[in-house]
Amino acid sequence: MDLNGKVALVTGGAGGIGLGIAKAFAAEGCRVALAGTTEENLIKAAESADTPSPLLWRTCDVTDRAQVGQLFEWLDGELGPVDILVNSAGVNIANRMMANIDPAEFDRVMDVNTTGTFNCIHAALPGMRQKGSGLIVNISSVAGKRAMLMAGLPYCVSKFATSALGTFLNQEECANGIRVTNIYPGETNTPILDKRPTPPPPEKRAKMLQPEDIAACVVTIARLPDRAVVPELVITPPHMMLD
């Protein structure tokens, strides 16, 4: 499928995997918009893209349904109805075990990682249904397939829930021409690593997946014809194979 001219929205697009995917789509000729919470980071991200067309951006807290609604209204006016939605907004926390977690921080991780994804999908679906086509990509984690102490309690719970959301939507929306893919990356060199109790050193980060690795997979999925659905894709560095 030719992606030229397709409208793509990437949440969590100011850095990491989200920005990598946004740049890859723009290189394919997509008209791309980034969403994130911090204006300064979005400006830097947009300016960093050496792509045929500029990356547009808008601040949005995906946990705020009113802001999400305004984001999609803005996108429709600037670029048109969304063809591809990438849900890459995600957070984690340092104190992530049941023994030391602040319940308010558990709520925040769930709100961003799961409810925020729901909010964006809920806002995107009416337009996709009207067109009879659309691709939704949820950036989950291998911690959404296997509970992992390293990832922490709230992150694992939120990613398992987001995975179920994507799987359910595939069953519900396939008749409407809408495809959903859950991506399960292993360790990836992104800023979220700084939230680990002990952030990994540069030499370890170099052996991890890089954002452009995930982006290449997402572009490949997006270029498939409508008859082909990739419900889920696991990608890990060699040192992190799943059983």
- Which domains are delineated in the chain? 7-240 (3.40.50.720)
Q: What pLDDT was estimated at residue 197?
A: 81
Q: What pLDDT was estimated at residue 145?
A: 95
132 pLDDT above the threshold of 70: yes
Residue 80, sorted as left (phi over 0), alpha (psi -120 to 50) or beta, turns out to be: left
184 is catalytic: no
Q: Compute the radius of gyration of the chain from its Cα atoms.
A: 17
Partnered with residue 67 across adjacent β-strands are: none
Q: What pLDDT was estimated at residue 177?
A: 97
Catalytic-labelled residue, pool 25, 106, 155, 184 = 155
Give the relative orientation of helices 153-173 and 103-110 as an angle to the nearest 10 degrees: 30
**pLDDT tens for each residue of 178-206:** 999 999 999 999 888 887 888 889 999 99
57 pLDDT above the threshold of 70: yes
Q: What pLDDT was estimated at residue 243?
A: 65
Sheet of 232-235, strand order: 56-59, 31-36, 7-11, 84-87, 134-139, 178-185, 232-235
User: Residue 111 in contact with residue 36, Cβ under 8 Å?
Assistant: no
Q: What pLDDT was estimated at residue 190?
A: 87
165 pLDDT above the threshold of 90: yes
**Rounded Cα distance, 167 and 48, in Å:** 34
- What mean pLDDT is predicted for residues 57-71? 98
DSSP string, 20-54: HHHHHHHHTT-EEEEEES-HHHHHHHHHH---SSP
Give the relative orientation of helices 16-27 and 39-48 as an angle to the nearest 10 degrees: 40
Q: What pLDDT was estimated at residue 241?
A: 78
Number of neighbours of residue 28 by Cβ within 10 angstroms: 19
